[in-house]
Each structure stands twice: as structure tokens, then as C-alpha cells.
Amino acid sequence: MRSKKIFDIITLFFSLSYLAIFLLFLFELAINSQLTWKMYGFQFIIGTRWDPNKNIFGALPFIYGTIVTSALSLALSFPIGIGTAIFLSEVIDQRISELLTEVIELIAGIPSVVIGLWGIFYLVPFVKNFLEPMLSCLSFIPLFSSQGVSGLSVMSAILVLSFMITPFIAVTTKSALDSVPEDLKEAMYSLGAHKYEVITYVSLPYIKKAIVSGTMLAFGRAFGETMAVTMVIGNMPTIALSLFSPGYTIPAVIANELTEAIAQLHISSLIFLALILEIMSITTIFVERLIIRKW
């Protein structure tokens, strides 16, 4: 009996400590960003200038960069991910489908830094020498205007992020498609429907929840990405409309500047950015759970 008590106490202790560490974590982030909050208040979030040399700090370039790269990479990944899922679930045979699905899953296992490495040496020159000139016919659209570029750009970041998050959408959607009851699809076919109608009227609506859930989690993954992004985005705190201009994201600036920051305001601003990122992450997870439960 006593040994049971001790056992229970041990597991309880670990669990409480675990919880405590989580709370400590949030607390530390908040405490260490205090200085910036006292200095700028809400202005920090909409401040557009980030200049450590002049001790001026504003978060907007990074918030903008993080959101733009994540949202646009999601916009690219979503159709490709769903398309891949349809391919794996409805187009090809069950037997090779299992194998190919595992291959797609493997993508998620490629370290971000390896993708960044490939990005620097291959994708960035591609964007500079090929993609940008190719899209220059569209340069009247501010999104694509030419920047006298090096290829280190928001566009490059969007492309690598897209590749990294597509497997999340593809694999969760494919699983969900496989779970659509056969008799529902059969019933639709029996009405004289074509395959694309069965997929659009029966399968996809049936898995709505899974699609939303997968997409939100992919989004969360995207804005937390550090390495691949910082290696190709150019790391300049500008807010520009053109996708070919360099940019900066929250994880990237923290990675680049935290170890070298000396001024207290600089450090607390970086911590504040980390806090913002953490809040974004918690919000995404929270919203996803809410949607799944209430639907």
C-alpha cells in the first residue's frame, strides 16, 4: 500500500512540475518583455521601425512578415495538399497509396535547416534568375514588382514554407478521405454521379472538420518556422508590398539578434516578439480545438 502511495506521489509531482514549468514559461516571457511594454505600450505592435543602433524598436515588420509568409504559403499549400490527398485516396490503387503516403510523410522529417541549405543554393538563384524575370510581365501589380533583387525574398520564404507544410494538409486530408463510408459514396454513384461529383458533394463535405483542423495546424507550423525562412528571406525589417523584396519574420529576427543584443530594450523587445509568437501559437491551437468541438 505504501509503495502505491509513493508511486502516486511521484507521478503527481512530475505532473505538477510540468504544469508549473508551463506557467513559469509564460511568466518569464512576460516579465522579460516588460521593459518594452513600459516604453512603448501598444505602439510596439504597430511600430514600423526596428533599428537597434538607434534603440528604436517596432514589431510591425516582423508581424507583417510572419503573417504574410504564413498566409500565402498556406494559400499555396492548401490546393496542392488537397489535390495530393485526392490523388492518394481516390486516384491510385490502395497498395501503392500506402507507400506513397509514407513518402509524403517523410517530407515532414526533413530538417528545416536542410531545406534552408537547399534554398540558399538553389531556390534563391532560381527566384532571382528565373521566377522574377518570368513574372516581370506582371510587375504592374505591386505584388510582383521588380526590386533589383538578389532572390533573397518573401517569395523564396513562401516557397520553402509551402513545401514544408503541404505534407500536413495532404496526410490529414488523405486519412480523412479514406474514412468516408463506402456506402455513402456508392449511394452517390448509384444516382448516376461522376467521380468528381462524388468527391465534391459527398467526400469533401464529410471531412470538412478534418480539413479545417489540418489547415489550422499547418498554419501554426508555418509561422513558427525559423531556419528555412531565415536562410532565404533576406532578413531585412522592411514592409513592402512586393513579394520579391526581402523581409523578416519574428522567429528569424530572434534567431539572428538575441545572442548579440546588448541593450536591455533590445533584448526585451526580442522577448516581447517571442511572447507575441507564443500567443499566436496558443490562439491557433485554442481556436482549432474550439472549432472541432463546437461543430
Partner 1 sequence: MKVKIRIKNLNAWYGKRHILKNINLEIPEKTVTAIIGPSGGGKSTLLRCINRTHELKRGAKVSGEVIIDNVDIYKINPVKVRKTIGLVFQKPNPFPNMSIYENVAIGLRVNGIKDESQIKNLVKEALIKVNLWNEVKDRLNSPATQLSGGQQQRLCIARAIVLNPEIILMDEPTSALDYFSTIAIENLIKKMSSEYTVVLSTHNIQQAARISDYIVFVHFGQIIAFRDTKSLLLNPNNETIEKFITEMQ
Partner 2 sequence: MVSTKDIKDSLLNIFATLSFTVVMITLLLIVGTTIIRGIKAINLDFFFALPNPPGQPGGGILNAIVGSLILVVISMSISIPVALAVAIYLYRSRNMGLKELIRVANGALGGTPSIVAGVFVYLMVVVPITGFSALAGALALSFLATPAMVSIFEEALKLVPHEILEAAVSLGVEDWKVLLFVIVREALPMILSGILIALGRIIGETAPLIFTAFGSPSLNLDPTQPTSALPLLIYNYAMSPWKDWQEKAWGAAFVLTILELLIYLLSRRISKR
Q: Which of residues 223-282 bind partner 1 (CB under 8 A)?
A: none
34: number of Cβ within 10 Å: 12
Q: For 56, phi and psi rounded to 5 degrees?
A: -110, 130
Q: Which stretch binds partner 1 (CB under 8 A): 36-44, 186-194, 267-275, 283-291?
A: 186-194
Given partner 1, partner 2, none, residue 277, with its beta carbon under 5 to 8 Å by kind, binds: partner 2
Q: Which CB atom, from 84 or from 145, has the smaller least distance to partner 2?
A: 84
Q: How far is the CB of 184 from partner 1 (least distance, A)?
A: 6
What type of residue sits at position 208? K
Q: Out of partner 2, partner 1, none, which partner does residue 285 contact, by CB within 5 to 8 A per kind?
A: partner 2
Task: Out of 227, 233, 240, 243, name the contact with partner 2 by CB under 8 A.
Answer: 227
Which cell goes with 27? 511568466
CA distances from 217 to 88, 153, 230, 277 (A): 21, 25, 21, 15
CB 104 within 8 A of CB 167: yes
Q: Is residue 98 involved in binding partner 1 (CB under 8 A)?
A: no
Identify which of residues 113 and 143 has a Cβ nearer to partner 2 in the complex: 113
Interaction of residue 239 with partner 2, rule CB under 8 A: no
Which x/- pattern, by CB under 8 A, does the window 152-171 give for partner 2?
A: -----------x--xx--x-
Region 29-88 residues binding partner 1, contact defined as CB under 8 A: none
Q: Is 68 left (phi over 0), alpha (psi -120 to 50) or beta?
A: alpha
Q: Which residue(s) pair with 51 in the sheet?
A: 56
**Does residue 15 bind partner 2 (CB under 8 A)?**
yes
Residue 63 or residue 240: which is nearer to partner 2 going by CB? 63
CA gyration radius for the chain? 23
Measured distance CA(235)–CA(254) in Å, rounded: 11
By the rule CB under 8 A, 206 interacts with partner 2: no
Closest approach of partner 2 to the CB of residue 145, in Å: 26
Select the binding partner of residue 208 from partner 2, partner 1, none (C-beta < 5 to 8 A, by kind): partner 1
Q: Which residues in 97-116 contact partner 2 (CB under 8 A)? A: 100, 102-107, 109-116
DSSP track, 101-170: HHHHHHHTTS-HHHHHHHIIIIIHHHIIIIIHHHHGGGTTSGGG------S-SHHHHHHHHHHHHHHHHH
Half-sphere exposure in the Cβ direction for 121 (13 Å, CA) = 5
**Interacting residues with partner 1 (CB under 8 A):** 93-94, 181, 183-184, 186-194, 197, 201-202, 205-206, 208
